[in-house]
Amino acid sequence: MMKIIAYVILGVLILGLLGFTVSVRNFLRDTKIAEASWKEFKPEKMEGLGTVKELKIMPLIDYYTTSDTLTGEPGSSYLVSVGDQKILFDIGYNMENEHPSPLLRNMKQLGVDINDIDTIVISHNHVDHIGGMKAMKQNTFLLSGEETDLNHVKAYVPEKMSHATAEVEVITKPKKIAEGIATIGTVDRAIWAMGLTSEQALAVNVEGKGLVLIVGCGHQKAARILERARDLFDIPIYGVIGGLHYPVEESRMKFNMQKILGTGKLPWQRIEKHEVMEAAAELDKTNLSMIAISAHDSCDWTLDKFREVFRERYLDVMVGKEISVGR
């Protein structure tokens, strides 16, 4: 009996080792693919982007909230308002597959009507941005635990995804989606155990200010987001808002997977503090007038360092706290 148990344990260990070896091999392969893709694609200048007079960004889902009556979670969703146009940038996590979801509950409390949203932009296909595991399994995006009618919505997604009611368009290359608003196109990054991740960010050109870049998780890396924006536009970068994925110290999660998953590194490697400081310096060289970093995928140490670097130019990302640029 003891021999049988020993053989079973040995078999499990061998299978586990083989699986881990395959995952490492796949990660290294995907890293090469992502690097080749970045080097090969050279975007042309985007002409005629236009401008918007005022940009408002209301975090609907993030870790911190302005009130105990609002729900925070380790996902992100921003309401991007330009005049009468309202864009929902990402959907949040909804970890417990609730209905109504934290997103819908926060929207109701903040006076945001789903019928006023005309566009959805999904930065990348990860659970904390598309509405949870149910959405991931169905390769879709879900605003809540039960289906939400999005017949009136055009959705721009970074890879092939479907939705029961919304009109879905896959975006991989830079594209103007409205006057003064464009996606900078996807940038690939190898994520261990999750494969190639294609992530897009939004660029909004605010009249008299410049470009505001709205970012989901920042898996592309801050330097590449900036480089892509410079390649596309001869417009100064005014601000950056969103996630940059720098969980260098213990996060606020019960079991911290952010330091292992989503880093673009192998699981035994970690994002180092000097990388955070280098990213902050790279962003600072751009002469940003404002920066707001999401707490959903960065630790408080990172947020504090960005506050130290940018001082009065730094803004907190909190559910219920609107960020306004222009006018």
Query: How many C-beta neighbours within 10 Å does residue 172 have?
Result: 16
Q: Is 199 helix (H, G, I), strand (E, B) or coil?
A: strand
- Verdict on whether the full-model pTM lies above 0.85: yes
Q: Is the pLDDT of residue 273 over 90?
A: yes
DSSP string, 12-42: HHHHHHHHHHHHHHHHHHHHHHHHHHHHH--
Q: Is the pLDDT of residue 250 over 80?
A: no
pLDDT bin (cut points 50, 70, 90) of residue 133 is: very high
DSSP string, 176-193: EEETTEEE---EEEEETT
Q: Is the pLDDT of residue 258 over 90?
A: no
Query: How many C-beta neighbours within 10 Å does residue 53 have?
Result: 12
**Which runs of E-coded beta strand occur in the chain?**
54-61, 77-82, 85-89, 119-121, 154-157, 167-170, 175-178, 181-183, 187-191, 195-199, 202-206, 210-215, 237-242, 290-293, 323-326
> What CATH number labels 41-326?
3.60.15.10
Q: For 104, what's the count of Cα atoms within 13 Å in the CB-facing half-sphere? A: 17
Q: What is the mean pLDDT of residues 216-229?
A: 96
Where exactly are the structural domains of the chain? Answer: 41-326
Q: How far apart are CA 237 and CA 287, in angstroms?
A: 8
pLDDT bin (cut points 50, 70, 90) of residue 215 is: very high
